[in-house]
Amino acid sequence: MNDILAGPTGLGTSAARIASRIAEPPPPVHEPGYVERQWGDGSASPLYVPVAERVDDALAAVVDERLVGWAKSCGFDDDESEMLGTAGFGRLAVLTHVDTDDPEQLLLAARLNAAWWAADDLYADDSERGATPVELPPRLALVMAAMDPVAPAGEFTASLEEALRSDKVLVALRSATEHLARRSGSVVVQRVCYSTFAMFVSWNAYAAWRFTGEYPPAWKYLATRQHDSFYTSMTLIDAVGGYELPAHLYYEPRVRRALTQAGTASVMVNDLLSVEKDAADENPVCNMVLQIAADRGCSIAEAVEETVSLHNQLVRDFEEGHKALQAVPSPELHRFLRGVRAWMGGGFEWHATNPRYA
């Protein structure tokens, strides 16, 4: 007992023991670090990434199973729904949103990411699955109406509703956004909507480049890519965690810069692991590696090294910005930025272990 008390004993000393415990500093919070990770076939330089904070395949299986059932309810056939499950968007949510183990909260991210990816594949990127540059802009206009309902417009509303119900991608995006609205506030819903719509501007630029065959220099692609990055997925961090980062902090320039760096670094991982698939499309998809190689007339291997260097600098810049923002007295901001760091680490883990990018 004396060892447990580890302080003065006897009559009248209990208050002293309590005061002693209060005065003791709290135990240090474990801060996962950053590591250099090999990727692909191991021939390129490693990527500097945050440590993946949680790998829970059992929880991921639960979320992916629920995701498959949801996809079927949206109109995806059995094969398509199973493909969404195999793609592991539930696992992505579990790897990247580490401050909850509630499957329904994790489905906020799993459903929206699956729907965004479906739109990207079926509308924008995959020619074999019906993506055509000239059809992309009008398709995306309807996506905006599915996610952010427009005001009734008399007889014209019925035609819009019929269109929104007849396309499985639109049904999925509407359903995923409604799920988000039920579990978070209107501020977060609009934040997600408008980051998505900004992303669509970039998609339309890619479509124009593919249609004309006049591909952009790397600097212009990168400027466009920064609004089409995993920043959009990261807007869900507080919603999945069950809290809300106040708007004045979310849009504070230093916070937004850190988010942009994190989102762009994470999407550079996607470009690095997608380069072979992107180059093989009959209408090649824009990709940082391919744009650098075209600009400089260099090999793909050399362009890969430049992209790795860019990624690593973005992560280090985020790391420094995160440290500076720790001086801001806001528990919500600190939780959110830890969530951003966890998203980067989990996002790399997902890409590195996903059959889609093998």
**Inter-residue contact 171 to 73 (CB < 8 Å):** no
Q: Summarize pLDDT for 251-289 with one digit per residue, the tens.
A: 999 999 999 999 999 999 999 999 988 888 777 788 999
Dihedral angle computed from the Cα positions of residues 82, 86, 92 and 95, in that order, rounded to the nearest 10 degrees: 130
Query: Does 13 score more than 50 pLDDT?
Result: no
What was the pLDDT predicted at 279?
82
Q: What is the pTM of this model?
A: 0.88
Over residues 179-207, the mean pLDDT reads 94
What was the pLDDT predicted at 10?
39
What was the pLDDT predicted at 358?
74
Q: Which residues pair with 48 in a beta bridge?
A: 36
Q: Summarize pLDDT for 279-300 with one digit per residue, the tens.
A: 887 777 889 999 999 999 999 9
12-21, 117-126, 153-162: least confidently modelled range: 12-21
**Inter-residue contact 49 to 344 (CB < 8 Å):** yes
Over residues 315-326, the mean pLDDT reads 97
CATH number 1.20.120.80 given to 42-357? no
Six-digit token string for 2? 């004396």
What was the pLDDT predicted at 129?
67
Confidence of residue 124 (pLDDT cuts 50, 70, 90): confident
Residue-wise DSSP of 122-166: IIII-GGGT--GGGHHHHHHHHHHHHSPPPP-TTHHHHHHHHHHH
